[in-house]
Structure 1
Amino acid sequence: MLTRRALAAPLLALPVASPARAQAESFDAFLAGVRAEARRGGVSPATLQRAFAGLRPNDRVLELDRRQAEFTQTWPQYRDARLSPTRIENGRRAMQEHRATLAAIQSRFRVEPGVVVAIWGIETSYGGFTGNFNVIEALATLAWEGRRAAFFRAELLAALRILEAGNVSVDRMRGSHAGAMGHPQFMPTSFERLAVDFDGDGRRDIWDSRADALASIANYLARSGWRDPDPWGFEVRLPGNMALEGLDHRNTRPMADWARLGVRHFDGGALPALGGDWAVVVPGLSRGDAQSFLVGQNFMAIRRYNPSNFYATAVGLLSDRVG
């Protein structure tokens, strides 16, 4: 008959894997799969060795990814934070400092310089803060254990291809916790499609070349349907009897139709005679802030950069002030 002690002895002899060890083995297996997929996509062993050397999951990246705080700012709070006197003044200074480059960019891409500078200002404070996370580490962490693993795996593979092409070194490839990179905060797949070597040095460098970074923003907008020389939009006054429900960027109609419905320019004048379809957007409608804007195709192009009416309206307003 087996005693309690005899039963316990073999159980105590079994190895028990620590959570840290199990995590490391899981991450290593994940990296092995990514390595094989990247090799099939043309990434060299040398690039993979540099990119994956000492790589481990970043707990801070996961913490930020899981932070699902509701958006609680009102439109005036959001607007005023992004249209601060300092940001406006720095934007005007940037317009002057890069005047020649921006003129050349406008000539090539047919995008108004003010909106390029406004996106630069809102994304990274004109390059003042572009992110301190190792992009490969951040993307690998999110692709391994993030909420959108397939999305971030594709971005990780794109980042490896960017390294392989020699556009940036592993050490310099820094960005946000979600992998958005450089002055324009491009994700790697956006970089592959839209980044530009505007200074002609053979690299698409959105980290250290202002010319490449600003031209890349302009190219993004141009490829998103920017229509020169139309405005992005402007503030309007709505008639008192107009129902606000249903007013958003998807409810478009010709300018003349809005005029017939009683919409007027904010200064009280008639609406301009512009072609195309336009929409009335009330960014703070859900929170009781009724500032209204009539927006067109260029507003939609800005929304493709960031699909938020708050964001696109703030970019447009900042572009008006710095341009």
Structure 2
Amino acid sequence: MRVRAMCVAVMLVLGWAVQAPAQDRAGVERQFRGWLEQTVWPQASRKGVSRATFDRAFQGVSLDWDLPDLVPPGTPVQTPKRQRQAEFGNPGKYFNRGSVEGATAVGRQMARAHAQALARAEARTGVPGRIVLGIWGRESGYGRVAITHDVFRVLGTKGFMSTRAGYFTEELVAALQIAEAGHAPSGAMKSSWAGALGQPQFMPTSFLKYAADGTGDGHADIWRSEADTIASIANYLAKHGWQKGRDWGFEVQVPEGVSCTLEGPDQGRRIRDWAAMGITRVGGKAFPEAEARQQGFLLMPAGRSGPAFIVTPNFYVLKDYNMSDLYALFVGHVGDRIQYGMGDFTARWGQVGGLYRSDVAVMQRALEGMGHDVGGADGLPGFKTRRSIGRWQEATGQRATCFPEAAMKARLR
């Protein structure tokens, strides 16, 4: 027993997942069925879900023990000590040639095949078809990526025993509401391992708010209908504030005399004023006059070690779909390639990144101690962290690069 306890302790220190012993799983499954009846069914019933829909959804459903971040009953919550994510790896990896060119090539095919649906969605919402295609391609490969999980099993498991049980329970009830409305048969309601639904990868609560009928049949079938998928993505962006007639942004060159610490959606100025500071579009093009009169924002997702952009408010609408600068940039870039035949970004991505999230969090806490607003010590180098690094560099007589680097670890502790 002592040896077994020591092994468990080592597993916890290393941040490994601790699962319920096999002999206990039957008991946990019984607790799960009790939770469905005592917690989920009353909430679903209050939302108008019928007993027949509820029973069909959970017929034969058991817990999925292979999902991440599970906390079986009686297991202490543990957080891994060290993690990696794309946002603090090399940003250039997000734009690998296979992903970009594949999304572009198939996107052009989809633009032709679904031209009418894209045109209807744009006329209704003002969201350009190329932007819808960029999201659709990123989320599900235009519906070609297999989405195999049973949404009720996924959300049931994570609602019952995950680190965010309350959130996933709410999403589970929303999925039951979708089934009740008949948007798709329960067997067709497939999701990702996190519970995101169909080709646009909407969480169920987002489906209830933003899913749209693109065919006029009274349903928003985002699993099997391309027209409904297109209409739903466009509706989501419109409801989040997409400004009709504006672009998402432009790749630019930022002279050394313009500080990278000017980045961020809270430091906007008219695009013509950015131009007056010496910021120019790549390729020598002028900013469109209609855009030049309006507000734009400096974006430098890799600091001085990568491409730079002047983006519009529409860029931050794309971030509402997925809170990542790189995601929004990928969507806009692929959309431009699909419609305009644009090539790669002119500037190259530098060899930066490769840090652990915990390393970045240490730097963030050190900057917070100096009075900088880094947006929270979460280990993710968003724009507040990037420009805080630049401000610290400038204050200490260094050249501002505005991106966390390994050489900074010794000084930012």
* Partner of residue 29 from structure 1, selected from 27, 30, 34: 34
Stretches (4+) displaced over 4 A: 63-68
Give the letter aligned to residue 277 of structure 1. Answer: Q
Listed one character per residue, the Cα deviations across residues 40-80 of structure 1 (whole Å, up to 9, x for unaligned) are 22111100110111221101223699888421442221112
Find the aligned partners of 1:254 and 1:279 in 2 and give their Cα distance: 8
RMSD: 2.1
CA contact (8 A) 2:155 2:172 kept: yes
* Partner of residue 193 from structure 2, selected from 177, 190, 207: 177
User: Which residue in the other structure is 1:276 paired with?
Assistant: 294
Q: 1:227 to 1:52 in 2, by over 3 A?
A: same
Q: Work out the percentage of aligned pairs sharing the same amino acid.
A: 36
Find the aligned partners of 1:250 and 1:147 in 2 and give their Cα distance: 33
Question: Deviation at 1:163?
Answer: 0.4
Find the aligned partners of 2:70 and 2:25 in 1 and give their Cα distance: 20
User: Which residue in the other structure is 1:303 paired with?
Assistant: 319
Higher RCO structure, 1 or 2 (CA under 8 Å, sep 6+)? 1
Find the aligned partners of 2:132 and 2:181 in 1 and give their Cα distance: 26
- Say yes or no: does 1:315 pair with 2:331: yes
Q: TM-score, normalised by structure 1?
A: 0.89
User: Which residue in the other structure is 1:227 paired with?
Assistant: 243
Find the aligned partners of 1:94 and 1:151 in 2 and give their Cα distance: 34
- Say yes or no: does 1:118 pair with 2:134: yes
Q: Which runs of 5 or more residues in structure 2 are unaligned?
A: 1-21, 72-78, 340-413
* Partner of residue 112 from structure 2, selected from 91, 96, 101: 96
Query: After the TM superposition, which residues 1-323 of structure 1 pair with which residues of structure 2 at under 5 Å, given as runs?
Result: 18-32=23-37, 33-62=39-68, 69-72=83-86, 73-81=89-97, 83-273=99-289, 274=291, 275-285=293-303, 289-323=305-339
CA contact (8 A) 2:150 2:191 kept: yes
Find the aligned partners of 1:249 and 1:293 in 2 and give their Cα distance: 12
Q: Which runs of 5 or more residues in structure 1 are unaligned?
A: 1-16
Larger radius of gyration: 1
**Larger CA deviation: 61-70 vs 112-121:** 61-70
Q: TM-score, normalised by structure 2?
A: 0.70
Listed one character per residue, the Cα deviations across residues 106-162 of structure 1 (whole Å, up to 9, x for unaligned) are 111111000001110111111101521101110111111112111111110000000
Give the letter aligned to residue 51 of structure 2. Answer: P
Find the aligned partners of 1:95 and 1:82 in 2 and give their Cα distance: 19
SS at structure 2 position matched to 1:34: helix
Give the letter aligned to residue 231 of structure 2. Answer: A
Q: Number of aligned pairs?
A: 305
